[in-house]
Structure 1
Amino acid sequence: MRYLESIEERKRTRALWEEIFPEDSASFLDYYYEEKALENEILVEEAGDEIVSMVQWNPYSLWVNGRLWDSRYLIAVATKPEYRRQKRMAKLLTQGMRDLASKEMPFVWLMPAKAEIYLPFDFRYVYQKWEGDLPAGSGGEGLSVVSLAREDFAAAACFLERELEERFSVFPERSEEYLQRLQKEVASEGGGLAALLQGEELVGIFSYWPGEGNMEIRELIVDGRFLPDFLRLNQPQTAETMRRIDSLAAAIRDYFQKSGFGGAVKGEISVVNTGWLGQEKPAIMARICNFAAFVKEIRSWGPKTVVLQVQDELIPENNGVFRWELTSTDSRLIPSPGETPELALTIGELTEWLLGGDAPEGYSEIIPPKGCFFSEIV
C-alpha cells in the first residue's frame, strides 16, 4: 500500500478507472487526469507491477460557519474484480482516513454508489439533493440567460457565495479558480456555465451538460426572490413566486434553444441540486476524521460541559472518553479517561448529528452547523 507521487504513476490508475467505471467518457477522464489527479492523494495497492485497488482523495476548501476548512472528497474507490473480497478497499479507506486524521482533517465526504458499502466505516448521509424537471415556463420578468464569460467569474463567485451562505452553513468554497475548473469539467461532456440576468442584474448561475436524451442542469443557484416562499419566508407558496419561477424556467429553455440544444427543450430538462426544485434524494455521505479538530466549530447557547464517550473502531485518536467544553463562540475536546460518560455515541452518530441531524434528547442547546450543500461530482 502506498501513495502515488509522480504524474506518470498517477496516470496509470486511469486503466483501473476505465475498467470499473465504463460509463465515464474518455473526454471526462482526460479532464480529470489533467486537472484533479495531479493534485490529489491516490492511495493504491499493487500486485506486481499492476495497480489492483485504489482510493482517490480530492482536496476541497469548505466554508463551515463562515470559516474555511480543508477537506477531502473521496472518489474512485475501485478494485479489480479478481482481487475483491480480500479487504483491500477496507485497508485503503482506513489508512487514508487515519492519515488525514493525523493532519487534523475535520471530515471527509463522498457520493456513494451504494450506502451499505460505507456505513460500516461510519459514513452517514448529511445532504439530500433535490431532483426534478424544469417547469415548462412562461415569459416575463425581463429575464435572460447568457453564457458565463471568464471575465465574469469573480462576480459570479461572489454571487454564489452570498446566496449559499444565506441558506447553508457548510458548502464548498466558490472562487474564480473553482469556476474555471468547473467550466472545464462540464465542457468535457459538452456543457457549460450560464448566468441568469434581470435586465443587467445577476440573479442566478447554473452549470449544465447533456444527458441521455435530455439536458441536465447540474446546479442552479438563484437570487432569493426566485426561491419558493416556504424557503424565503417559511410561508405557503404564492402565485407571485410561482410566476417568477415560471419566468426563470422560460428564460433557461430559451437559452438552450438558441444555443443549439433544441432537442433538450422538446424533452425533459432535469435539475439537480437547487435545494428546492423536485424531490429530495440522499446524495452525500460524510465521516468525521479528527473529532478534536471538528468540534472547534461547534458552539452552545452558553457555557456547557459534556462528558462524552466516542466509539471509533478505525481511528484510535477519536476513541475514548472526553470532556467536551463548549461556549457561545467555540468548543474544545479534552481527553478524560477517568470520568464516567454521560453520553456515548459512535463517530457515525456524531457525524450525522453534528452535520445537520437531530440532537440527542437533552442536548438541543449545542449548536452545530445547520444545512449542508454539495453539488460536486469529482
Structure 2
Amino acid sequence: MGEERRMEYEIFTSLEEAREKGIEKVREDIYCLWQECFGDTDSYTDFYFQWVVPYNRIFTLYKEDKLCSMLHLNPYTLAVKENEVKADYIVGVATRKEERKKGYMGLLIEKALQWMYEEGKPFTYLMPAAEAIYYPYDFRKVYTLENWGMEMEKAVIKGNSKNTGSRLVKLTASDIDSRRVLTEFTEDILRREYDIYALRSRKYYEKLLAEMNSTKGGIALVLKKDELIGYAAYMQDDGFQIAECIYERSDKEEVLLELYREFSSGLSLSLNDRKADFEPAIMMRIVNLKAFLLSLYSEREISLVIEAKDERIAENNGVFHLVTSKEGSSVDNTEEPPMLRGNISDLTLLFFGKLEEEKKKELITVEEKDSVLAVLSELKIGNRLFLNEIV
C-alpha cells in the first residue's frame, strides 16, 4: 500500500529532469496550467515564458503523465546592506482545480525549500494571493507594497496641480542611453534609501519594459530640464496600475502629478474605494539559517548564541554561536546555553525588524534581557525593503 501511494505521483525539480524522465511536453503543460490558474493574457504569458522561464527553476508534480501542480523559483540578485545576495522569488504556485486539497502544493514548497537550503540560499520570498496559504510554511509578512495610485490622488488633493515645468517621456526598447541613465538614477536612490532591493541593470530594465509592454503599459520617465527626477513602470491591460515608482523624495509630488496628468483617465477607482482593496505584500522565510546569519553585520564585535527550531528544514534545528564584526561573521554549532530561542518564523521577523518588542523579550532566555535587546538592535539584516517585482 505504501509503495502504491509513493508511485501515485512524481516530483521533478527542473524541466530538464522532467524531460529526462520522459515528460517531453512539460513546457507546454506548465504554459497551459499557468493560463488556467492565473488568467493572464496570452501576451503576458508569452512574455513570462520568453523572458523568465529560460532562467528559472520549475518544480512540477505529475500523476502518471498529467501535470497536477507546479512552483517556480525566479532567481534575483539582491543588494542586502551593500552586499550582493542570491535569493529565489517564489511565483507561479498553482494546482489544477480537480487536484486541489490533496497536499500537492505543500509537497512542492517543502521540496523547493530543501533544494534552496542545499544551494545555500539565505532566504526566499513571495507575494501571496493570501497570507494564510504560506503561514504554515513559516513565511511571514515583512513588506507591504506602496499604493502609488493612491499617492497620485493624494498629490492632486493637496492642490499642487500647477505646471512645474516637468515633462513625461515614454521609454522605448531602442533607447539604450535612457536605460543607462535610468539604471544609474535608480541604483543611486535605492542604495541611499533602502537596505534590501533587487539590483538594477540595463538588462533589468529591458526585461521590465517588455513585461510592462505585454500588459499594454510601459515605463514613463519624468524629466525636469532634461534631468531624470523619477519614473513609473505601469500596466494598462485592466485599467492603469503602477507596478513601481521611484523618485527623489524632494520631487515626489511633481513626479506623481505628472503621472496623474498623463494617466488619470485610466484610474477607474476612487481614492476611498481603493482603500479597501487587497494590499500586495511580500512574505519572507529564512531558508539556510547559517548562510543567513553569515549575512548579518555589526559595527562592533558582538556575540550571540541562538537556538532555532524549524519543522520543515531539519538542518536548521540546533544551537548556533554567531560572532559578527566589521570584518565579517562566523557561525558554529555549539553546546553553549542559548541566549535566544525561537522558531524559524520568529527569527525571520526578528532579523527583518518586524518583531514586536514584547515578542522579542519572550524569545530571550537569559535574565539580562536588555543587553540581548541591545545586541539585536545591531544585527538587523535590514528593515527598509523595496521589492516590487511581479515575477
Instruction: Give runs of aligned pairs for residues 15-34 of structure 1, distance below 5 A.
Output: 15-22=32-39, 24-34=40-50
CA distance in 2, matches of 1:92, 1:334: 30
Shift of 1:281: 4.1
* Counterpart residue number, 1:345: 342
* Counterpart residue number, 2:368: none
Structure-2-length-normalised TM-score: 0.82
With over 3 angstroms needed to count, the CA separation of the structure-2 counterparts of 1:85 and 1:249, relative to structure 1, is closer
CA distance in 1, matches of 2:87, 2:250: 32
CA distance in 1, matches of 2:276, 2:36: 33
Residue type of the alignment partner of 1:345? G
Classify the secondary structure of the residue corresponding to 2:300: coil
Q: Give yes or no for the alignment of 1:210 onto 2:210.
A: no
Higher deviation after alignment, 116-125 or 322-331: 322-331
* Counterpart residue number, 1:195: 221
Q: Give yes or no for the alignment of 1:4 onto 2:15.
A: yes
Output one character per residue of 1:194-236: Cα deviation in whole Å (capped at 9) or x when no partner. 1111111111111111153x41121110113124xxxxxxxxx
The match for 1:312 among 293, 310, 313 is 310
Instruction: Give runs of aligned pairs for residues 105-144 of structure 1, distance below 5 A.
Output: 105-131=121-147, 132-133=149-150, 134-135=152-153, 136=156, 138-144=161-167
CA distance in 1, matches of 2:106, 2:374: 35
* Counterpart residue number, 1:302: 300
More helix by share: 2
Instruction: Give runs of aligned pairs for residues 1-378 of structure 1, distance below 5 A.
Output: 1-2=11-12, 3-5=14-16, 9-22=26-39, 24-131=40-147, 132-133=149-150, 134-135=152-153, 136=156, 138-149=161-172, 150-151=175-176, 152-210=178-236, 212=238, 214-227=239-252, 245=253, 247-256=254-263, 263-264=265-266, 267=268, 281=279, 283-336=281-334, 338-358=335-355, 360-361=360-361, 362-365=372-375, 366-368=378-380, 369-378=382-391
Residue pair 1:356, 1:372 contacting (<8 A) in 2 also: no
Residue pair 1:171, 1:373 contacting (<8 A) in 2 also: yes
Residue type of the alignment partner of 2:235? W
Shift of 1:104: 0.7
Residue type of the alignment partner of 1:215? F
Shift of 1:8: 5.0
Higher deviation after alignment, 216-225 or 354-363: 354-363
CA distance in 2, matches of 1:82, 1:269: 38
Residue pair 2:231, 2:255 contacting (<8 A) in 1 also: no
Residue type of the alignment partner of 2:324? L
Output one character per residue of 1:88-140: Cα deviation in whole Å (capped at 9) or x when no partner. 11111111111111111111110001111111111011111122422335133
Structure-1-length-normalised TM-score: 0.85
Residue pair 1:125, 1:282 contacting (<8 A) in 2 also: no
**Cα RMSD (Å):** 2.3
Residue pair 1:169, 1:370 contacting (<8 A) in 2 also: yes
With over 3 angstroms needed to count, the CA separation of the structure-2 counterparts of 1:224 and 1:125, relative to structure 1, is same
Shift of 1:353: 1.5
Shift of 1:330: 3.2
CA distance in 2, matches of 1:301, 1:35: 40
Unaligned runs of 5+ in 2: 1-10, 362-371
Higher deviation after alignment, 27-36 or 141-150: 141-150
Unaligned runs of 5+ in 1: 228-244, 257-261, 271-276
Residue pair 1:139, 1:250 contacting (<8 A) in 2 also: no
Residue type of the alignment partner of 2:192? E
Q: Which structure exhibits the higher relative contact order, with contacts defined as CA atoms closer than 8 Å and separated by 6 or more residues?
A: 1
